[in-house]
């Protein structure tokens, strides 16, 4: 609920400046301890499901899997905008556990959106003592392929993505006090990863509170570059997730 409500706040900040990033802040309400209701987003599929239709588990390594699934609707400005919006939001909030079953896309390819926000403020998933997530946010080769970014080549849609990301990031940064205050109010709610003032250090650092506008913009552009450089780690993590999912299914059956 906290993440979804924060996404709504972020969206209002962006919309106030006429920046519509096509977020999908679906409904979520707690009705008790570990009990609640989540709105169904119709006509959408997980990225994992899309990849499985293009090579099974090896679809995680196919850069054109998402493109092939969407190509009848490409290029899509909404895809670029929503991808940018969630890249910025998940980075600022430090959302972890970003595998391909936690990222979805609507059937028409118009909106990319994230689900399942159990890890926040830089708390990532580990496996055998190793950090499974080594990138600031998820920007995989298949997302870039949709934008025309292949083997480092530039494209109009990728440039729009970069520009949209930095615009959205700087707008959130200008409201950093609001975001920090909202999280401060949640310190006594029992959220494991938000139980002390120290837990909000990630949020302040992500928003680059101590830096100037130019330095903050360059900081986020560096995060994009880091995601591109380390994208193979995301593909490997997603492949492991898909293989592990099949193994669990076999055991249940």
Whether residue 28 lies inside any domain: the answer is no
Which H, E and C letters describe the chain, residue by residue?
A: CHHHHHHHHHHHHHHHCCCCCCCCCCCEEEEECCEEEECCCCCEEEHHHHHHCCCHHHHHHCCCHHHHHHHHHCCCHHHHHHHHHHHHHHHHHCCCCCCCCCEEEECCCCCEEECCCCCCCCCCCEECCEECCCCCCCCCHHHHHHCCCCCCCCCHHHHHHHHHHHHHHHHHHCCHHHHHHHHHCCCCCCCCCCCCHHHHHHHHHHCCCCCCHHHHHHHHHHHHHHHHHCHHHHHHHHHHHHHHHHHHHHHHC
pLDDT one digit per residue (tens) for the chain, 253 residues? 999 999 999 999 999 999 999 999 999 998 988 899 999 999 899 998 888 887 777 777 778 888 887 776 555 778 999 999 999 999 999 999 888 899 999 876 678 999 999 889 987 765 555 566 789 999 998 899 989 888 777 899 999 999 999 999 999 999 999 999 999 988 888 888 888 888 889 999 999 999 999 999 999 999 999 999 998 888 888 888 788 765 343 333 3
Domain assignment present for residue 18? The answer is no
Domain of residue 198, CATH code: 1.10.1070.11
207: containing domain: 42-252
- Has residue 10 been placed in a domain? no
> How many domains are there within the chain?
1
């Amino acid at each position: 609920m906290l993440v979804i409500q924060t996404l709504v706040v972020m969206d209002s900040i962006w919309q106030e400046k006429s920046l519509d990033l096509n977020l999908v802040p679906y409904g979520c309400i707690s009705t008790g301890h570990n009990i609640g209701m989540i709105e169904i987003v119709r006509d959408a599929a997980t990225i994992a499901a899309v990849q499985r239709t293009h090579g099974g588990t090896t679809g995680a390594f196919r850069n054109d899997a998402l493109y092939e699934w969407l190509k009848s609707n490409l290029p899509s400005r909404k895809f670029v905008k929503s991808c940018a919006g969630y890249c910025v939001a998940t980075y600022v909030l430090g959302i972890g556990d970003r595998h391909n079953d936690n990222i979805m896309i609507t059937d028409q390819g118009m909106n990319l959106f994230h689900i399942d926000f159990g890890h926040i403020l830089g708390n990532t998933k580990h496996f055998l003592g190793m950090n499974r997530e080594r990138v600031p946010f998820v920007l995989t080769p298949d997302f870039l392929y949709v934008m025309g970014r292949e083997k480092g080549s530039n494209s109009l849609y990728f440039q729009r993505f970069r520009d949209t990301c930095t615009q959205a990031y700087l707008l959130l940064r200008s409201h950093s006090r609001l975001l920090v205050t909202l999280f401060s109010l949640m310190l006594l709610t029992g959220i494991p990863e938000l139980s002390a003032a120290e837990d909000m250090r990630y949020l302040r650092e992500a928003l680059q509170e101590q830096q100037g506008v130019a330095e903050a913009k360059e900081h986020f552009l560096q995060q994009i570059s880091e995601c591109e450089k380390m994208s193979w780690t995301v593909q490997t993590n997603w492949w492991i997730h898909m293989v592990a999912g099949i193994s669990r299914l076999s055991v249940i059956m």
